[in-house]
Each structure stands twice: as C-alpha cells, then as structure tokens.
Structure 1
Amino acid sequence: MRIAQVAPLAESVPPKFYGGTERVVSWLTEELVRQGHEVTLFASGDSETSATLVPCCPRGLRLAGVRDHLATHLVMLSKVMRASADFDIIHFHVDLLQHPLFNRIRHKTITTMHGRLDLPDNMPIYKAFPRMPLVSISNHQRLPMPAFINWVDTIPHGLPESLCRFNPHGGDYLAFLGRICRDKRPDRAIEIAKRTGIPLKIAAKVDPADTDYFEQVIRPMLDHPLIEFIGEIDDQQKGAFLGNARALLFPIDWPEPFGLVMIEAMSVGTPVIAWRAGSVPEIITEGVSGFMVSSIDEGVAAVEKSLTLDRALVRQAFEQRFTVEKMTNAYVSAYTRQLALTSDASLPQRVGALAAI
C-alpha cells in the first residue's frame, strides 16, 4: 500500500523531547515500513525515519522558536496535494487545515484526531466538511462532535513493546510526566505526595503559554523536601524514570483524548493513579493496571493500594491492548476500507508528482 503520513511540524518525528502526536506518528510509520508498505512521511527536516522523508521545514518549529505555525503547515499541505496521486491513502495527523483543501479527494484520506474536540471555535470546520473520514483515539473524545460526523474507527494509541524495559520491582517515588499546565493539575500530584510522605519527581516541560501558571502556582509548591522538579526529559530517560517509580500520578482536570503517558507507564509495569476523566476509564483496568480516583483523599488511598498490584499484570494489560502492532493493524484495516471506497471513485492517474516536490 502506498501511504502518506502527514505529521504536525511543531516537533520532529520522533520528537527530541515532549511531543505525543509526533511520537505516535513515528511508531506508526516505522511499523508500516516494517510490514512492507511504501510509506512517505511529510514532517520536519530533522525527523528520523526509515520511510521516505519529505522535509517541510528545517527543524521542529517549537525548538526552532517559530510561534505561528500556520504558514508552514499550509506549505506542507500544498506539497501533499501536489503528490496526492502517488498515494493510495493520505493519513493526516493535523486536525483542521486539510478539511477544505482535501475535501474533493476525501475518499483517499484519513485524519486521526489527536486533540480535544470540545472547543466551540473549531466546530464550524467539522460542520462544513462532515464527510471527511475521521479516526478518534478514544470513544470519549467523540462525545462533543455532531452525530453526523464520518467516524471511520476508534483506534487507541500503541507503542513498541521493546521501547521501555519492564521493571518488575519499581521504586520508592511517585512520578508525574508530561506538561505543566492547569489541565494536567500537577498541584494535585504535589498534594498527594505531601500527604502520603512519598517523594514526587516531576519530569515536565513548561510551554510559554503556561509560564505564568508555573511561576505563580507551581513553583512555590516545589519548595518542599519531597518534591523534585526535573524538567523535560527524552525517550532514553523516560523508561528509567517511569520504571523506577512506585506509581504514575495522572491527576488531569480536562477531557483527556487519550493520555499516552498512561500506556508508557503500563509498558514498564508501573501502575497508574488517574482522575476519572476523559479517556481514563477506557485505558485503565481498575485494580489491575491502576486505580481511578475523583479526589485527593482517594488519590492518597490509591497510592497506598498501588503496592498490592502485580507489575507483571500491569505490563500484560499493556501487551494485550496498547502495542504498536495492534494500533498499526487497526489502521491498515481502516486504510483497506477506504481503498474499497476509492475503487469506485474517479481518481487522477499517477503522474509521479512526488518527484516534483
């Protein structure tokens, strides 16, 4: 199958540090190549892939200091459009811009919705182009969308089984991994650590938009002997960081579409203690891979109970549901269903447009 993967340009593929969507795109792309598909990746020039890379900017825009990403993404989409006849399927991982540009050939596209879908300002685009084929990453993510949206499937994220080494023992600290912002509620994690008397290590980035929140709310809470702020870490550091933890705290306060860090923790055998919100009930198996809570008190109790969980069963829950092979096979099935639609469509002849990019 000739497949185009169209990644966001904020980070490289895979990202150097934080970047959930770009990380998933990398895992999917590499597994598709391994399975024998002909894959082209549209991404930043500092991306690393075994697919054919079409660079759409020199490096990931966030680390390059580019604040407004609109123009660069439009240039990338123009490259994809010029090469569209070279592909059986074009798989978008950007949420909005491709809808008007690719509506005419929507039958050969799929868009994975990686973000939240409850923002009213974005709703006009979905209402104007309701037949664009979309994939959700959790069933909860779909709830705010109109009933007439063309959902192709719900496909949970998956990561390579060998990415992070299973740790059967864990450690003596709690972990918070991701991003410092109000939605992620690191303040809840800090409070739980203080009340349990167990150290908390925070490995997280601070975006410019969240600097005020960090300085005014979180930084004053870091002045405590139990709390250690590490900052942003990369994939090589992540396995040990999660594997050596007693539990991952995921104290979100928003409709999380998926929560990649939960399955990253599960992959190393570390239980997850998460607020019951968004996709969490679809990821966590209560009392097996972790606990779902609704308050600080429940979170404190869950930390105490986390030692009763079998870390081998936590890892097993990951292997049964959230591997890159399972994710990729689900996408290949979705591509195949779309190809069945294109077989009756009047498609332009292949003209070797990719070579002209």
Structure 2
Amino acid sequence: MVVPPWLSVPPPGYGGLEQVVHGLVDTLVAHGNAVTLFGAGRQNGTAADFVSTVPDLQYDRLGESLPELAHLARVKHLVTAADFDVIHDHTTIGPLVAGRRAVPTVATVHGNPVGEYGAVLSDTDQGVGLVAISHAQRRANPELPWVGTVHNAMDVRDVPRKSAPGRGAVLWLARFSPDKGPDLAIRACRAAGLPLILAGKCNEPAERRYFTEVVEPLLDEDVTVVLNADREATLRLLVDARCLIMPIQWEEPFGMVMVEAMATGTPVVALRRGAVSELVLDGVTGLVRDRVEELPAALSEAVRIDPAACMAHAARNFSTERMALGYEEVYRRFALGAAAPVREPVPIAAR
C-alpha cells in the first residue's frame, strides 16, 4: 500500500485519503492479508508493517512534484516480486511510473480525472489498472483504463451518533475553496434564518487567500468559524449539527464528509453535482437539490430526516468491510492478469 508522503496514516486532522487508507489497511489485515504500508515520517497508526521512505513528513512541500517522485523512486527499489503480489498506489504520479515496478499495480484515482489530471492518467503505463471511487468519477472520463469501482468508506462503528434530529447550527465542513461553496453556504443559511458553522481546512496559501478575500467579508454574528479542527472535534460538530450543507461547485468525485455525516445520523443538504446522488438518498438520508436557490428551503426541511435511516445507509453501503471486499476482488483479478479494463455502463445510485 503506497500513500503520498504528505501526511501520516491516519492523519491528525484533515486528510480524507489517509483516513480511507487507514480503514482499508486495518480491514485487509483483519481479513488475513499481509500488508506493508509505504509512506513518510516516523509514525504508523495502522495494523500494517510500515516502511518509511523519508524520515519527515513532506507536508510543507505539498504541491511540489519532487517529494512524491523521490518517494516513489524509493518504493520501486524496496519492492520485489518475491515479497509482494500486488501494489495498491494512492499517489498522483504513481500511475505514470508504476509500469517500471516488478510487481503489478492498481492505483486508486482520488481526484477529478479531467483536465491536467486526466492528461496524466491517460498516459498511465500499460498494465497498470485504475480504480474509481465512484461511478460518477468514471463517467467523467470513461476512456481511462479502469479495472474497478470501489466506494471510499469508514469504520462506522467508531463514530459518535445522534439519537434525535439535530436542532443546532447548519455545518459546512471542507477546505476553504470556491469549489466547496462556503460563500453559498453563508447566503443559504442566512436566507433560511439559520446559524452556520464554517469548519474548514485553511493552512495552504490559496486557502488562506480565499478565506481572507471572499469569506471574511461575508461573516457576521450568525456564522461561527472553526479552522483546522482535529478529527475528534469535527465528528462532534457533525453530531451536533442540524445538517451538513454541501453547496459544491465542481464535480466532486466522492465527498467523504457526506458519509461521515450520515454515519453520525446527520442528514446532508447538497447540490446535485459529481457523486452526491450516488452517496445521498434524496428524501431518506438528505435533500439533493439542483439550484442554489432551493437550498434555504431544504435546510429548513432537513429536521424531518430520520437519523437512524442515515446511519443505516452509511453502515450498509460505506463500511470498511465492504470497501476491503471490493478491493480484494480487484487484487485477485489483477494479480492473476485477468483484470482487463471494463468500459460497460455502470450504475448511478447507491443501494
């Protein structure tokens, strides 16, 4: 299992990829698989054997290509066919260099596979199989060499849960970016007459600039700001929230925060973009709308959603057990050389 060199697994706070890998690794080990995690730094919070390619986490260099390239070059020299059956790569550049490895590689695509990222993925080495995290993500670029679709997941047993519909503030939980629509969340809550908590990741230059230039001028007494909260704090915010608002302005390939919200019993109010309709059952675990103007009314209606239905949906569809079984099937087919790219239509909605 190869993760980027930026954060530990699990991460101390924001880090959706690392949180997903944590759950996947521990469940694979519980199933009897021998897993080695290749990462950076000195800390490993998983059940896997840990191999560090560099003593310090490279978060301060996030956005540069050389730290990840150096990390992958070191992984290549540490991996032999005698020791491993398959490599599961979660890095951005991994699909470009994986063909040089002595062991077959499946690579999970964690971003939106279009534009520059799509160009990188379209040059994936022959024999490297890509795994999508949603059917919506695959539809965005169906010509890539996909070999499977496995939803992200979390250990739903370890989260706090609400016992009744929340009556507190609406919660927005994301990185501060125009893609995530915090400005739209403020306007929607204000129109609905509801308080809002903006709990966001804000430690990269672009995030700080966006917060200062766009978000701060909109703030008033009805908005509470929580910056860079750790995981325990964000889970508590989710439990206490009336609902989670997701006014996204891009084709979100998954959106782990929606699963986290439903797992705690908190409904999701979101715009119909990317994988939203694949994760949220409209009218059952949240309210999915087509236009920003529809969000205030949906926020008012969210208290009608049954928390138990949210929790049951998350447990049934987005457990680490289900995710691990999905990846084990991909590994088996790929390691045997039988995982040809699959291009037939894929279903849209979660069951």
Alignment TM-score > 0.5, same fold: yes
Q: Residue in 1 aligned with 2:159?
A: 164
Q: Give a deviation string over 1:90-134, Cα, whole Å, max 9, x none.
A: 000013x23343225587210000011111464155246354200
1:100 & 1:232 partners in 2: Cα distance?
32
2:49 corresponds to which residue? 52
Give the distance between the partners of 2:115 and 2:151, measured in 1 at CA. 21
Aligned counterpart in structure 2 of residue 75 of structure 1, from 31, 56, 70 = 70
Describe how 1:12-161 pairs up with structure 2 within 5 A. Answer: 12-45=8-41, 46-62=43-59, 65-82=60-77, 83-85=79-81, 86-95=83-92, 97-104=93-100, 108-120=104-116, 122-123=118-119, 125-127=121-123, 129=125, 131-145=127-141, 147=143, 149-161=144-156
**Is structure 2 residue 141 aligned with structure 1 residue 181?**
no
- Report how far residue 328 of structure 1 moved: 0.7
1:216 maps to 2:206: no
Structure 2 residue ranges without an equivalent (≥5) = 340-351
Residue ranges of structure 1 left out of the alignment (5+ in a row) = 344-357
Describe the shift of the 1:29–1:89 C-alpha distance in structure 2 as closer, same or farther (beyond 3 A).
same
Identity among equivalent positions (%) equals 33
Which residue of structure 2 lines up, in the alignment, with residue 191 of structure 1?
Answer: 187
Match of 2:226 among 214, 225, 230: 230
Superposed structure 1 runs of 4+ greater than 6 Å apart: none
Q: CA 1:264/1:136 → structure 2, altered by over 3 Å: closer, same or farther? A: same
Preserved contact between residue 90 and residue 110 of structure 2 (Cα < 8 Å): yes
Q: Using the alignment, how far apart are the partners of 2:192 and 2:277 within structure 1?
A: 24
Give how far 1:338 is off: 1.1
How far residue 183 of structure 1 moved from its aligned partner, in angstroms, is: 0.4
CA contact (8 A) 1:61 1:69 kept: no
**Correspondence for 1:302 among 298, 303, 317:** 298
Give distance in 2, aligned partners of 1:266 and 1:128: 35
| CA distance in 1 between partners of 2:218 and 2:124 (Å) | 45
State the AA in 2 paired with 1:216. Answer: E
One-letter code aligned to 2:277: P
Correspondence for 1:276:
272
State how far apart, in whole Å, the 2-side matches of 1:13 and 1:232 are. Answer: 17
Q: CA RMSD in A?
A: 1.9
- The secondary structure found in structure 1 opposite 2:282 is coil
**2:271–2:292: 8 Å Cα contact kept in structure 1?**
no
Which range is displaced more, 149-158 or 121-130?
121-130
Cα separation, 2, equivalents of 1:121 and 1:34: 34
- Which sits farther off after the overlay, 18-27 or 295-304? 295-304
